[in-house]
């Protein structure tokens, strides 16, 4: 098997400074963006799921992706000529505190390839062994967290949300001890590797780290690299970067970030660990850890038990956190700008632009032709109050809203989306009926037919989301050696907006047994 058609571009390693030390030992890495490091070989690699569609679009032939060599590549047991693996150096604010140097502690980048269909894409193995950034950890990833990343990133992609992607899910044959809930119940777990794919794995923290060390030269190199490679439309024609070029880049990062967060709010995705080392410079959802999906609409919910006390990264705080994170990025690039005012103006615009995108998004969820001004905001806010007042399944509610017809019995229509029927007081019923009347009046203003409205709403309100318990069921089966549920969910989530009636059991609300179950509503950072 040749793979000889792959065109390795490797722009990052050829344009940015490498760590001069090559021993794979933990250390502080300065004046460098990455360290050379090879993946650790594994005892018995096996491919348990392949993202055939992505493999095809990246240019791997069916024979190549079915080959033993492909499995070896996807588990770090083989390299192709042209692959020069490395780990990135970055820092970050974790839960609001500056954590200093972090870096790819268990992610190893294999290569950047230039593909006909997707342009430049870097292939990265997550869980491929220790790197100079592993600190006190082992560089490995367990099967459960790998399944969660593998399924969720592709579900997000098919929901139309910017995200890193996942090409393959492999077992390594090795095992590692993990204390899943940090409660003293450590267990041996199977190790796995996901091959992630993205045009860029640079994070806010990639720029923050050199900035924190006063290394302005590296900050400048990184920002210019990001402009040249990921925001080429901002590249100055005469190659002379100016303050305005850097500001335009920062505005573009803000723009991509707000777009991403609005999508998260649209589908009920809670990232769970929005540390600045987990914020992509190209505005992709990255680092799927203790993320979760909203079942009952609750702006205060976070799946991450490590964040239980503060709930810093709760559903309803994601915009504010993204803003806080962008402030940190603004501070990091300050030496390139040297003026507070334009950065402050960009941050004020961030809130304004976010609001605009959120309003458009909510209008589309409700089936309005366009956002019509402040009276619409009142409709959105009253609805969110209603959804939160009694436990209401967010995903089911919006799909049912699309088929709601004037004057039909509200409780009967929305019956299947309530978790606690005893909460449905007369007062609540009256509020819902009032809201629906107001909604109907607003709809008649647009004059769309019922069919048109339903069609447009079902394009933005998914029928299927990767409810936490669905991923957990796939994990439990896989831990028994049955990988069929992974395949089934992967296929289901290729069309999350389609009815797929034969699979509608996957659209049901969270079953009662999953309400407080570990893995379903409670997840830790252990992975």
Q: Kindly list the catalytic residues.
A: 277
When the beta carbons of 258 and 527 are compared against ligand AMP, the nearer one is 527
Binding of residue 303 to ligand AMP (CB under 6 A): no
Copy the structure tokens of residue 318.
Answer: 């994601």
Size of the site for Mg ion (CB under 5 A): 2
Residues 508-527 that bind ligand AMP (CB under 6 A): 525
Cβ neighbours of 386 (radius 10 Å): 18
Binding of residue 278 to ligand AMP (CB under 6 A): yes
When the beta carbons of 137 and 177 are compared against ligand AMP, the nearer one is 137
For residue 118, the Cα-to-chain-centroid distance in whole angstroms is 19
**Position among 149, 287, 295, 307 found at the interface with Mg ion (CB under 5 A):** 287
When the beta carbons of 82 and 199 are compared against Mg ion, the nearer one is 199
Element (H, E) at 64: helix 62-65
CA 79 vs CA 96, 392, 420, 508: distances in Å: 39, 50, 54, 44
Round to whole Å and give the CA distance between 318 and 518. Answer: 23
DSSP 454-494: HHHHHTTS-S----HHHHHHHHHHHHTT--HHHHHHHHHTT
Q: Which does 137 bind (CB under 5 to 8 A by kind): ligand AMP, Mg ion, none?
A: ligand AMP
Q: What is the DSSP letter of 38?
A: P
340, exposed or middle or buried, with CB in 10 Å at 0-12, 13-18, 19+?
exposed
Binding mask 346-365 for ligand AMP (x = CB under 6 A): --------------------
CA 39 vs CA 75, 86, 111: distances in Å: 8, 9, 12
Q: Which does 138 bind (CB under 5 to 8 A by kind): ligand AMP, Mg ion, none?
A: ligand AMP
Binding of residue 273 to ligand AMP (CB under 6 A): yes
When the beta carbons of 168 and 278 are compared against Mg ion, the nearer one is 278
CB of 206 to ligand AMP, least distance (A): 12
- HSE, CB side, 13 Å, CA atoms: give it for residue 21: 12
CB of 348 to Mg ion, least distance (A): 29
CB of 166 to Mg ion, least distance (A): 15
Query: Can you tell me whether residue 313 is helix, strand or coil?
Result: coil
From the list 32-40, 163-171, 272-280, 355-363, the region that binds ligand AMP by CB under 6 A is 272-280
> Which region, left, alpha or beta, applies to residue 76 given φ > 0 means left and ψ of -120 to 50 means alpha?
left
Round to whole Å and give the CA distance between 6 and 376. Answer: 51
Binding mask 91-130 for ligand AMP (x = CB under 6 A): -----------xxxxx------------------------
When the beta carbons of 268 and 290 are compared against Mg ion, the nearer one is 290
Copy the structure tokens of residue 258.
Answer: 């707000």
Phi, psi of 186 (to 5 degrees): -75, 140
From the list 5-13, 153-161, 270-278, 294-302, the region that binds Mg ion by CB under 5 A is 270-278
**Position among 39, 85, 91, 139 found at the interface with ligand AMP (CB under 6 A):** 139
Q: Which residue is nearest to ligand AMP (CB)?
A: 105
CB of 136 to ligand AMP, least distance (A): 8
**Position among 35, 49, 51, 134 found at the interface with ligand AMP (CB under 6 A):** 134
Binding of residue 287 to ligand AMP (CB under 6 A): yes
What is the three-state SS of 155-208? HHHHCCCCECEEEEEEEEEEEEEEECCCCCCEEEEEEEEEEEEECCCCEHHHHH
Q: Which residue is nearest to Mg ion (CB)?
A: 287
CB of 478 to ligand AMP, least distance (A): 19
Binding of residue 149 to Mg ion (CB under 5 A): no
Cβ neighbours of 517 (radius 10 Å): 15
With the C-alpha atoms ordered 118, 165, 477, 465, is the resulting torsion angle positive or negative?
Answer: negative
Round to whole Å and give the CA distance between 104 and 199. Answer: 16
When the beta carbons of 104 and 295 are compared against Mg ion, the nearer one is 104
Residues 140-159 that bind ligand AMP (CB under 6 A): 140
When the beta carbons of 93 and 510 are compared against ligand AMP, the nearer one is 93
Q: Which does 104 bind (CB under 5 to 8 A by kind): ligand AMP, Mg ion, none?
A: ligand AMP
**Position among 278, 318, 364, 468 found at the interface with Mg ion (CB under 5 A):** 278
CB of 442 to Mg ion, least distance (A): 42
When the beta carbons of 278 and 395 are compared against ligand AMP, the nearer one is 278
CB of 139 to ligand AMP, least distance (A): 5
C-alpha gyration radius of the chain: 24
When the beta carbons of 45 and 205 are compared against ligand AMP, the nearer one is 205
CB of 89 to ligand AMP, least distance (A): 10
Round to whole Å and give the CA distance between 195 and 202. Answer: 16
When the beta carbons of 129 and 496 are compared against ligand AMP, the nearer one is 129
Query: Can you tell me whether residue 356 is helix, strand or coil?
Result: helix
Contact of 351 with 323, CB cutoff 8 Å: yes
Binding of residue 164 to ligand AMP (CB under 6 A): no
CB of 523 to ligand AMP, least distance (A): 12
Q: Provide, for the chain, the percentages of residues in helix, strand and coil under a 3-state DSSP scheme, each rounded to the nearest 5.
A: 45, 15, 40
| DSSP β-bridge partners for residue 285 | 163
CB of 263 to ligand AMP, least distance (A): 20
The binding site for Mg ion (CB under 5 A) comprises: 278, 287
Positions in the binding site for ligand AMP (CB under 6 A) = 102-106, 133-134, 137-140, 273, 277-278, 287, 289, 525
């Amino acid at each position: 098997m040749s793979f000889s058609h792959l065109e390795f571009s490797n722009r990052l390693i050829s344009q940015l400074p490498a760590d001069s030390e090559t021993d794979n030992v933990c250390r502080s890495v300065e004046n460098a963006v990455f360290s050379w490091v090879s993946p650790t070989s594994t005892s018995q690699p096996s491919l348990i799921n392949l993202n055939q569609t992505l493999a095809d679009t990246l240019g791997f032939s069916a024979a190549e992706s079915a080959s033993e060599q492909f499995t070896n590549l996807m588990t770090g047991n083989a390299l192709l000529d042209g692959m020069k693996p490395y780990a990135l150096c970055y820092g970050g604010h974790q839960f609001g505190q500056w954590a200093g140097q972090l870096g790819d502690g268990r992610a190893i980048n294999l290569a950047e390839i230039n593909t006909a269909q997707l342009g430049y894409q870097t292939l990265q193995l997550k869980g491929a062994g220790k790197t100079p950034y592993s600190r006190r950890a082992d560089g490995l990833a367990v099967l459960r967290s790998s399944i969660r990343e593998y399924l969720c990133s592709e579900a997000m992609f098919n929901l139309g949300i910017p995200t890193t992607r996942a090409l393959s899910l492999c077992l390594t044959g090795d095992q590692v001890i993990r204390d899943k809930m940090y409660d003293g119940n450590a267990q041996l777990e199977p190790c796995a590797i996901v091959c992630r794919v993205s045009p860029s794995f640079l994070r806010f923290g990639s720029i923050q780290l050199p900035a924190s060390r006063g290394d302005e030269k590296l900050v400048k190199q990184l920002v210019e690299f990001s402009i040249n490679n990921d925001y080429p439309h901002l590249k100055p024609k005469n190659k002379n970067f100016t303050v305005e070029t850097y500001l335009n880049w920062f505005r573009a990062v803000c723009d991509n970030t707000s777009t991403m967060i609005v999508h998260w709010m649209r589908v009920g995705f809670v990232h769970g660990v929005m540390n600045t080392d987990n914020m992509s410079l190209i505005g992709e959802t990255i680092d799927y850890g203790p993320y979760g999906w909203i079942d009952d609409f609750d702006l205060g919910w976070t799946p991450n038990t490590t964040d239980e006390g503060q709930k810093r990264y709760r559903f309803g705080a994601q915009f504010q956190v993204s803003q806080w994170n962008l402030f940190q990025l603004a501070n990091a690039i300050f030496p390139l700008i040297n003026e507070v005012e334009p950065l402050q103006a960009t941050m004020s615009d961030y809130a304004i632009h976010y609001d605009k995108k959120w309003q458009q998004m909510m209008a589309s969820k409700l089936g309005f032709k366009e956002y019509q001004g402040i009276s619409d905001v009142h409709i959105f806010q009253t609805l969110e109050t209603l959804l939160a007042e009694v436990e209401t399944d967010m995903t089911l509610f919006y799909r049912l809203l699309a088929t709601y017809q004037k004057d039909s019995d509200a409780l009967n229509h929305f019956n299947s989306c309530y978790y606690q029927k005893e909460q449905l007081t007369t007062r609540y019923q009256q509020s819902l009926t009032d809201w629906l009347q107001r909604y109907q009046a607003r709809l008649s203003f647009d004059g769309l037919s019922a069919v048109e409205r339903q069609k447009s709403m079902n394009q933005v309100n998914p029928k299927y989301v990767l409810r936490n318990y669905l991923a957990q069921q796939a994990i439990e089966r896989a831990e028994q050696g049955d990988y069929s549920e992974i395949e089934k969910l992967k296929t289901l989530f290729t069309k999350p907006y389609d009815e797929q009636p034969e699979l509608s059991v996957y659209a049901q609300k969270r079953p009662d047994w999953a309400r407080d179950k570990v893995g379903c509503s409670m997840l830790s950072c252990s992975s």
